[in-house]
Amino acid sequence: MIRHDAAMITSVSNQNESSRSNLGKISIAVGVALAIGAFFYFDLGRFLSLTALKENRDSLLVFTDANFPGAVGIFVAFYVIVTGLSLPGATILTLAGGFLFGAPLATLLVNIGATTGATLAFLTARYVLRDTVEQKFGKWLGPFQEGFAKNAFSYLLTLRLIPLFPFFVVNLVSGLTRVNLGTYVSATAVGIIPGSFVYAYAGHQLGSINSLKEIASPNVVGAFVLLGLLALVPVVYKRFATKPA
Quick check: is 20 in a domain?
A: no
Q: Does 48 reside within a domain?
A: yes
Region of residue 174 (phi > 0: left; psi between -120 and 50: alpha; otherwise: beta): alpha
Residue 237 reports pLDDT greater than 50: no
Flag whether 42 is in a domain. yes
Q: Is 213 exposed, middle or buried (0-12, 13-18, 19+ CB in 10 A)?
A: exposed
Nearby residues of 77 by Cβ (< 8 Å), 6 or more positions away: 113
Average pLDDT of the chain to the nearest whole number: 84
Residue 11 lies in a domain: no
What would the pLDDT profile of 112-142 be if each residue is shown by its tens digit? 999 999 999 999 999 998 887 777 766 666 6
Domain of residue 105 covers: 27-241
- Rounded Cα distance between 16 and 120, Å, is 26
pLDDT digits (tens, 9 = 90+) for 167-187: 999 999 899 888 999 999 999
Per-residue pLDDT averaged across 189-210, rounded?
A: 86
More confident: 106 or 159: 106
Looking from the CA of 128 toward its CB, the CA atoms found within 13 Å total 18
Domain tally, the chain:
1
**Three-class DSSP category at 88:** coil
| Measured distance CA(157)–CA(165) in Å, rounded | 12
CA distance 193 to 186: 11
- pLDDT at residue number 1: 54
pLDDT tier at 206 (50, 70, 90 boundaries)? confident
Q: Is residue 31 predicted with pLDDT exceeding 70?
A: yes
130/64 Cα distance (integer angstroms):
41
pLDDT-based confidence at 22, cuts 50/70/90?
confident
Residue 235: its pLDDT value, please?
A: 59
Q: What is the pLDDT of residue 218?
A: 65
38 pLDDT more than 90: yes
Model confidence pLDDT, tens digit, residues 61-90 = 999 999 999 999 999 999 999 999 999 999
Assess if residue 65 is contained within a domain: yes
d(CA 220, CA 170): 21
Alpha carbon distance 154, 232 (integer Å): 6
Specify if 100 maps to a domain: yes
Question: Is residue 9 assigned to a domain?
Answer: no
The predicted structure's pLDDT at residue 7 = 52
Q: Is residue 121 part of a domain?
A: yes
Q: Residue 129's pLDDT is what? A: 87
